[in-house]
Amino acid sequence: MQQVLGHKIIAHSNTFMRTIDLATRVAQTDSTVLILGESGVGKEVIAHLIYQLNKRREKGAFIKINCGAIPEDLLESELFGYDTGAFTGAKKEGKKGMFELAQQGVIFLDEIAELPLRLQVKLLRVLQEKEFFRLGAVKPVNADVQIIAATNKDLLEAVKAKSFREDLYYRLNVVPIVVPPLRERWEDIVPLILLYLNEFNEKYKQSKFFSSECLKVMLSYSWPGNVRQLANLIERLVVTCEEQMIRVQDLPGEIKTPVSISDRFHINESLSLPEALSRLEREMVEWTMRRYRSTYKAAKALGVSQSTVARCVKKYGLFKGNTG
């Protein structure tokens, strides 16, 4: 576990350590950052990390806005503010928007793919000209902010579908940071479980703990909802389990039921045959290693040599530690 200015970040897996390393290096600059990853992987955690390590932390605030959570007719004034008399019901003194509140700091635009096309033009101006207009204003406001955007969508597909501007995509995609899903952070699962278990035990004044069998089952699960799903489950178990020990039978059905390789592997028509075979090889070795936690046992189950499994583990960065 890494400590960054009081923030606990679990990073034992090679894949997530590379993400943290890139975020740490980007934090030394004012570059625009685009954080990519599935829902629940911790994109906001990475955005906060960049802010905490950036010199802007000493001068300005970290301001977050969810572009998909605010109605379109209100979003412009929330982002850019408004001047006196900009519209009926506006405050006499006007109002600062999120970009002004983030001056000299960092603005985090979550769910950027949901930003309406009309406002994408205005955001593009901020990125290009470093200024914006309040609603109803005739003079621009200087924008001294670092912009971090995040999405769980494929923005290139959105560009093809004409729902996201191509020029804005390239302006945002200066430094892309991909946050891996939890299923690719096998080594982080148990430390995360223990972190949240301790957190919720303290919050609810409990002393619950997991049986070893329960931990094994949780390790073999694919966690489609990622870290958010894991944290929510542990809170639920701490609150609802009557016994101190949390057992396998206390887990929800979808976690207790093993997921087969055929259920997890999906054909993508855009993949070439070598790419598809490589993905299937990774899926099979990853799933088997999670189940057996040994290259010897995994090789026996897969019907290949131990050296073949060890080569795949190294090739795909699937496991770190005792794999004998």
Instruction: Kindly state the average pLDDT of the residues 113-135.
Output: 96
> If pLDDT is split at 50, 70 and 90, which confidence band does 193 have?
very high
The per-residue pLDDT for 130 is 96
CATH number assigned to the domain covering 261-316: 1.10.10
Write the CB contacts of 41 (distance below 8 Å, at least 6 apart in sequence). 179, 180, 181, 182, 226, 227
Tell which wins on pLDDT, 91 or 59. 59
Domain ranges of the chain: 2-180, 183-256, 261-316
What pLDDT score was predicted for residue 27? 97
Q: What is the pLDDT of residue 88?
A: 58
**What does the angle CA 156 – CA 161 – CA 163 come to, to the nearest 5 degrees?**
85
pLDDT in the model for residue 212: 87
- What is the SS3 string spanning the chain? CEEECCEEECCCCHHHHHHHHHHHHHCCCCCCEEEECCCCCCHHHHHHHHHHHCHHHHCCCEEEEECCCCCHHHHHHHHHCECCCCCCCCCCCCECCHHHHCCCCEEEEECHHHCCHHHHHHHHHHHHHCEECCECCCCCEECCCEEEEEECCCHHHHHHCCCCCHHHHHHHCCEEEECCCHHHCHHHHHHHHHHHHHHHHHHCCCCCEECHHHHHHHHHCCCCCHHHHHHHHHHHHHHHCCCCEECHHHCCHHHHCCCCHHHHCCCCCCCCHHHHHHHHHHHHHHHHHHHHCCHHHHHHHHCCCHHHHHHHHHHHCCCCCCCC
Query: What does the alpha-carbon distance between residue 146 and residue 29 come to, in Å, rounded to a whole number?
Result: 9
Q: At what angle do helices 43-53 and 14-26 cross, to 10 degrees?
A: 40
Which residues are registered as beta bridge partners of 33? Answer: 148, 175
Checking if the pLDDT of 298 tops 90, the result is: no
Q: Which fold has domain 183-256?
A: Helicase, Ruva Protein; domain 3 (1.10.8)
The mean pLDDT value for 128-138 works out to 91
The tokens for 281 are 């090889």
- What is the pLDDT, as a whole number, of residue 278? 80
Task: Report pTM.
Answer: 0.79
- pLDDT of the residue at 202: 96
Higher pLDDT, 171 or 313: 171
Is residue 285 left, alpha or beta, with left meaning phi > 0 and alpha meaning psi from -120 to 50? alpha
Is 143:126 a contact under the CB 8 Å cutoff?
Answer: yes
| pLDDT band at residue 259 under the 50/70/90 scheme | low
Q: What confidence score (pLDDT) does residue 162 get? A: 96
Kindly state the average pLDDT of the residues 120-133.
Answer: 96
- The CATH superfamily holding the domain 2-180 is P-loop containing nucleotide triphosphate hydrolases (3.40.50.300)
- Rounded to an integer, the average pLDDT of 121-128 is 96
CA distance 94 to 112: 26
What's the pLDDT score for residue 184? 85
Where is pLDDT greater, at 90 or 250?
250
pLDDT at 103 over 60: yes
What is d(CA 5, CA 141) in angstroms, rounded to the nearest whole number? Answer: 32
Q: Tell me what the mean pLDDT of segment 156-184 comes to.
A: 96
Give residue-wise pLDDT tens across range 222-249.
Answer: 899 999 999 999 999 999 999 999 999 9
Q: pLDDT tier at 305 (50, 70, 90 boundaries)?
A: confident
**Cα Dmax for the chain:** 76
Give the whole-number percent of the chain exceeding pLDDT 90. Answer: 62
Whether 183-256 and 2-180 are alike in CATH topology: the answer is: no
Q: Is 230 exposed, middle or buried (0-12, 13-18, 19+ CB in 10 A)?
A: buried
Nearest-angstrom CA–CA distance, 268 and 159: 20
